[in-house]
Amino acid sequence: MRMLEVFSSEKIYLPVLQDSSAATALTEQILHYMVQKGYYRSLYVLVNHKLPSSLEYSDAPSVPLAHTLLEHLLKPLHFTYSSCPVGARQFVFSAFTEQFISPPFTEQVFHFFVPALADPRLSFPFHDFLWSLQATVASSSMAQAQAPWLFYFVLSVGEISLGSLSEEGLLLYLSTLQGLLPLLPVTESRSRMEINSDSEDEDDNAVRRPTPQDEGRISVQLITELCVQKLDTKQQTNALLALVWRDSASEDVFTMMASICHTLMVQHRMMVPKVRLLYSLAFNARFLRHLWHLITSMRTKMITGSLVPLLQLMSRGSPMSAEDSSRIIPLFYLFSSLFSHSLISIHDTEFFGDSLDGNRRLLTHIHRSIELIISTTFQLIYADKRDVQGDGPFLDGINVTIRRNYIYEDAYDKLSPENEPDLKKRIRVHLLNAHGLDEAGIDGGGIFREFLSELLKSGFNPNQGFFRTTNEGLLFPSPTAEMLIGESFTRHYYFLGRILGKVDLPVFILIIQTTFTSCAAGVLKHLSLKKPYRRISSEVFTQYNLVFSISSFFLWFFQVVELKPGGKDIPVTTANRIAYIHLVADYRLNKQIRAHCLAFRQGLANVVNLEWLRMFDQQEIQVLISGAHVPICLDDLKKFTNYSGGYSATHPVIKIFWDVVENFSDDEKRKLLKFVTSCSRPPLLGFKELYPAFCIHNGGNDLERLPTASTCMNLLKLPEFCDEQLMKSKLLYAIESSSGFELS
């Protein structure tokens, strides 16, 4: 021992060489040579024969030999071996690992040397040890047999030294755990044992006292149990969680952590609630989100060269290579196990109550909640109306004079954003007839509704050029509006969006849908329009010479639009016909009318809060705006009709009136309803919701007069026609004339 101490000391050579670097180089060469000749193997034998088996690390001062052997153990590890051949330092660490740390622990190594090397005061080069361990574990044929003792040593030193490691060192530590944990054997006692971690007073540093077996060596079963216990201590768990929770954590960190957790659950049968590491990760949203992102981003290259997500292959049950399986299965298994603890368990009683009284209380609570929501909603709407219109004078607001024969032109000019920037105000309309004379009546709401209906009819009329009709008679924005009107075409769509209040037209679902969603949302919905073209044979494609472009011809305008770069030179074949159909549908339904839809939506948003309308889908919006598209129920109308001026439900004139109306066609009934209420469709919830209620007033006994209406009060002024034929002719003449108070 004395000779070893002398010849491995730099101080012996320094007086002779007079150069510290030369003395260091000579010492390195001597130590490297001794390590090559079994230095650590001999030191292992010497330790076990010279030191007592009951020696603890705390007893080292009383045993000088133990301190000397510890110095000789550490000395070769502190040199860089720059003067030796390449790989000399790696060889020294490998010899230390394989010949001293990896063999089955004796009492001396377990109780004295492992705690001593974990002591930060001795400056064990843990970072360099981890770096050399990467190659040692991967290349050693004894890795499986050496794993339990080596793993315990890494955990013991790492538990103390993790705080001093750099970012690179932490990654090496995590990589080492990932490589050694699968090599750890699973014993029968480990598979049956449950780690009791519920007590807050548990001492995590307490380690079971090992029992010597096989001539003083620690058994594999015991060291394996100690490894799992040490991996579950608070210090170890906090250190590992700190690697994941830091902002600079990379994808490699998450992948290695997922592999460690997967091994604990699958190989060692560890339950999530029983392991601190697993339980902490299960309720960490950032880790779960990043783990799911890794799973969805994993791809593999197919035979065609395309990259396909591995998750898609799993969902389809497609076979995967062993490499792909090893990549995604640990991550997916871990995510499923951890995420399931964030889900709330649902009991059968939550679907079927135990008692009828409980159901009644629930229904009462639901009814009250619905009433509260409804009342709150109407309060918000009323508050918005009050803030805009207020309680000002009757004639306060927007007053416009409109010529009936030029209703769209006058409205577009006088209700433009420049003239009336705030269209939420109350609007009152004064109409001029075809002769330029004032029409009778003061607008109390009815004339405005009639004006609005006629204005929208004119604006949405295909002859106006803003809209076209489909084969089903539905409307959609005209792609040629820009060619017909010019660059100001979007102003007209903006105007129509502002005016839209009660649409009495079967508007194409696409414009309603794109008003409340994005323009791209309607593409797949309406691809059925192009379905017949999917069955076209290859001969037809060749005959028509289709290419990836669209030609538009309107009046003297001719335009060619490429569906993709260079599309006019790409022929359509059976192989690419699906792509062609998608591109055509996308162009027709989105790109070609995008400006039209955006302008229309902006105009509507200028008057109505779109957030309110987004509570409904396009079908519900159609019903809310246009009313219920159902036949008019005369029994319901009779039930909620009022009479005045001497009329009653049993009056002969009223009986004749209802007999005549019952023989009307559905279109004539709608015209009558519009004549009286300015809306051709019944209210959504029936005529009981019509306000004011439908009323028939005595219009006098002058049989030459025509029936008239006050639409603001839903009032029909009906003269005393006692003849059924006269009643029918007068009613039809009045409702077909489209004149409001002008008939008075």
92 phi and psi, to 5 degrees? Answer: -65, -45
Q: Supply 141's token pair.
A: 């044929």
Total residues found in the chain within this entry: 744
Cα angle: 269, vertex 275, 276; to 5 degrees:
160
- Cβ atoms of residues 554 and 480 within 8 Å: yes
Using CA atoms, how far apart are residues 12 and 100, in angstroms rounded to an integer?
Answer: 28
- Cβ atoms of residues 201 and 125 within 8 Å: no
Q: Which residue has the tokens 């538009």?
A: 552
429 phi and psi, to 5 degrees? Answer: -115, 135
Helix axes 88-96, 39-50, angle to 10 degrees: 30
- DSSP state at residue 552: E
| 1 C-beta neighbours (distance < 10 Å), count | 11
- Cβ atoms of residues 239 and 154 within 8 Å: no
24-37 b/e (C-beta count within 10 Å ≥ 16 → b): bbbbbbebbebbee
- Residue at 368: amino acid letter: R
Using CA atoms, how far apart are residues 589 and 528, in angstroms rounded to an integer?
Answer: 12
Burial class (CB in 10 A: 0-12, 13-18, 19+), 109: buried
Cα angle: 575, vertex 581, 587; to 5 degrees:
140
- Identify the active-site residue in 84, 679, 695, 712: 712
Closest CA to 680 of 428, 445, 450: 450
Closest CA to 108 of 154, 52, 70, 65: 52
Cα angle: 568, vertex 571, 575; to 5 degrees:
140
Helix (H, G, I), strand (E, B) or coil at 106: strand
| 712 is a catalytic site residue | yes
| 382 C-beta neighbours (distance < 10 Å), count | 10
Residues with a known catalytic role: 712
